[in-house]
Structure 1
Amino acid sequence: MSTGTSVTVTEQSFPTEVLASDKPVIVDFWATWCGPCKMIAPVFEELARDHSDKVTFAKVDIDQAPGLQRDLQIMSIPTLIVFKDGKQVAQLVGAQSKKKLHAAIAEFL
C-alpha cells in the first residue's frame, strides 16, 4: 500500500503528468463550488492513498483549466477520466459511491 495522495494538474502540466505518464492516470475534473465534487473528494483521496503505486490520481480544477474542460468536452462535474498511454480509456460522470467508483476503475488498479 502506498501513502500517496492525488496530484494537482494544470493545463501546463497536463501533457507531462497525464498524457506522458508511464502508468494509468485517473483525473478528477472538479470545481470549488461543486457540491457533488466535494462529496467524492474524500473517496478519491482514499483510493489515491491505497492505489497510487499502480495508478496516478490527479485533480484538475476546471475553473483554473478552461482549455482542458473545452478540449475534453467536459459538460458536467465531477467527471473522472482514465488515461492510459496518453489516451482516454474510460469516463465516469457524476458523484459515485466508493463501491461504484472502485468497480469502475478496478481494471486499472
Structure 2
Amino acid sequence: MDSLTLAQIDQVIEQENIVCVYLYTPICGTCQLAGRMLEIVNELFPHITFCKTDINYMPERAIEWSIESVPCLLVFRNGKLEKKIYAFHSVPYLYETIKSFL
C-alpha cells in the first residue's frame, strides 16, 4: 500500500473506479494493527487501488470528509465517498465490506 500526497490521492480517486484510502497517524497503535490488516486485504484485491496517508498532513480534508477518528478507511467509488470504516474488526470483515463495492 503506497503512501500518497493529497494531490496524488485526489488524482487516484478521480481516475480509478474503486479506491480505498487509509487514514492514520504514526503514533496510533491501533492504526499500526489496522494497517497490517489492510495489507492483507490489499493482496486479496489486486484490481482495487489501496493507498494511505498521514491525516496530520491534510487537516482541511479531514474536515471536508468529516473524519471522526483514526484509523479510518475511506472507500470511494467513481470519485464519490461511499463508506467510512472506523472499526477494523477483522480481515474477513474488511474483505467482505470491500467486496460489497464490486
- TM-score, with length taken from structure 1: 0.83
From 19, 27, 33, the counterpart of 2:21 = 27
Determine the structure 2 residue equivalent to 1:10: 5
Residue identity (%) = 25
Question: How far 1:81 sits from its partner (Å)?
Answer: 1.0
1:41 aligns with 2:35: yes
The Cα RMSD (Å) is 1.5
Give unpaired runs (5+ residues) of structure 2. none
SS at match of 2:100: helix
Give the Cα separation in 1 of the matches to 2:29 and 2:88. Answer: 9
1:87 aligns with 2:76: no
Give unpaired runs (5+ residues) of structure 1. 1-5
Determine the structure 1 residue equivalent to 2:96: 103
Question: How far 1:95 sits from its partner (Å)?
Answer: 3.1
Q: Match of 1:74, as an amino acid? A: I
Q: Which stretches of structure 1, 4 residues or more, deviate above 3 A after TM superposition? A: none
Q: Match of 1:36, as an amino acid? A: T
Alignment: residue pair count? 102
* Structure richer in helix, relative to its length: 2
- TM-score, with length taken from structure 2: 0.88
